[in-house]
Amino acid sequence: MKGVAYQQNYSPNGSTSSNTTYTDPLADGDACKRDIPYLKQIYTNIIRVYAIDPTKNHDDCMAQLASADIYVIADLGEPGTSIISDDPEWDVTLYQRYTSVVDNLQKYKNVLGFFAGNENVSSANQTTAAAFVKAAVRDVKGYISSQGYRSTLGVGYATADVPTRDELAHYFACEPGNTGNATAIDFWGYNVYSWCGNSSYSASSYGERVDFFSDYPVPVFFAEYGCIEGIDGGATHRPFTEVEVLFGNMTSVFSGGIVYEWFMGDNDYGLVELTSNDASVSPYPDFTSLQSQLATVSPTITQRSAYTPSNSAPSCPTVGTSWEAKASPLPPSPNSQLCSCMAASLQCNIKSTNEDDYADVFDYICGSNEDYCEGISRNATTGTYGGYSGCDPKDQLAWVANQYYLGNGKSSSACGFSGMATIQTAATASTCSSLLAAVGTAGTGTAASPTGKATASATGSTSKGAAAGINGPKAVEHGGLIMGLWSVVAAGSLLGMLAL
């Protein structure tokens, strides 16, 4: 893989951002026409995009890229709608966003696959987020299969070079219990910035990474690389001396890498500057350096017919002081039908759509009796998840409000909450009975995974006034129970990448 990260003005990480706008890099045919000739000058055969708008048409750019023999690997989230490192969840909104990106891109034969997460675990106290990304990997893989989409579409995860990187790699590739590879990634992306300037194989710790991944069961590549620290002449003068090594002896383990990044932005990583009102491209000196380095390499490739992987899945890391995410059970699959059925079956429902007011009500109800909130609880360390923990905030609040109402003798005053709630006539459709029965009256069971098409709209693509996506339930402890308080990611799937 000789790739480039291709997205303007975007911070691809698992954190919240007040700016949820972004420019869809695959929706502008003129921009693709402008950039592709330059991308080919640096031997590009794949680009990574971090956020696309699934409501837009990408035919023009994707056709141009295909004609230039350029593949695409796409992240599934977008600003405001992704799994948040410090506040992880896996809910209906996220499921609809992720699967709608799959729906939009799956038809293009030059789409290699998707990242279900990027750097969601960036510090020692964020390892629980891995459980929610692994659940996303499971459900996106399941969705691709249930929709009959191309079986070579892979789903992976991209990690930062963090202290828990070894546990992360094992966690996402492990296959707990009798799940097979249903929850395992299809490829592993590594964002590595340890080779700065004229570093070396040993000084950069590249050798350590080769040793560690030598028996890894799925393809591994650098999902980002290109350090700008301590460069003679400044950030735009990267010599890219790591190319000779990455595309040389390392190809026995690593499948190449993706340079960060194409467009110049505030972080100074760009290879090119846009000029003449974005109509032209002006390369920086490190563009030429990268071009020269890539011109000298001829990595060995593996043909699909010769690809016979034999490495076994690693054991899942055990929960301890440095790792806090169980590999099984994972968060339940978000099921919008289940959530709708539940809301209709309640005697006390929430009518307010003002999510800013939800937190106080959650806090009051869950603080008065933990049992009321078991149905929305989530604890990645113990592997305990409520059956409705994948619902959106309004439905989750409706569940706990109804539990409170029932627990207080159905008193009309127990279904008020300053006018946010209302008493209704409970109704259960025949199509809902089995789903609700599976979750149970306490909300602690697990319903079947969804199988139908997902629909979602983009929250921030190019629209300067786009609203922020819901960040999800903020993890708060009441006693020993973690619950949600709403506050404003198989080798066989990646055969196609081997001959890029």
Residue among 119, 167, 175, 261 flagged as catalytic: 119
Beta pairing class for 71-75 and 111-118: parallel
DSSP string, 294-336: HHT-------GGG----PPPPPPPPPSSS----SSSPPPPP-H
Sequence-distant (≥ 6) Cβ neighbours of residue 308 within 8 angstroms: none
Residue 436 exposure: Cα atoms within 13 Å on the Cβ side: 18
What single-letter amino acid sits at 148?
G
Tokens of 405: 């109402």
Q: How many CA atoms lie within 13 A of 157 on its CB side?
A: 33
Cα-to-chain-centroid distance, residue 477 = 25
DSSP calls for 155-217: EEEEEES-TTHHHHHHHHH---TT-TTTTS-SEEEEEE----SS--TTTTTHHHHHHHHTT-S
Number of residues assigned to the chain = 500
Q: Give me the phi and psi of 401, to 5 degrees please.
A: -65, -40
Q: Is 171 helix (H, G, I), strand (E, B) or coil?
A: helix
E strand spans, 29-168: 46-49, 71-75, 111-118, 154-160
**Is residue 357 within 8 Å of 459, Cβ to Cβ?**
no
User: Which residue in 78, 89, 175, 224 is the catalytic one?
Assistant: 224
- Placement of tokens 């890219």 in the chain: 240
Whether the CB-CB separation of 103 and 57 falls below 8 Å is answered with: no
**What phi and psi values does residue 199 have, to the nearest 5 degrees?**
-80, -160
Tokens of 404: 């409170």
- Residue whose C-alpha is closest to residue 42's, from 258, 217, 212, 356: 258
H/E element, 476: strand 473-478
Q: Could you confirm whether 229 is annotated as catalytic?
A: no
The count of C-alpha atoms lying within 13 angstroms of the C-alpha of 109, restricted to the half-sphere facing its C-beta, is: 6
Q: How many CB atoms lie within 10 A of CB 352?
A: 17
Q: Check if the beta carbon of residue 154 is closer than 8 Å to that of residue 492.
A: no
Residue 175 is among the residues annotated as catalytic for this protein: no
Q: Enumerate the active-site residues.
A: 119, 224
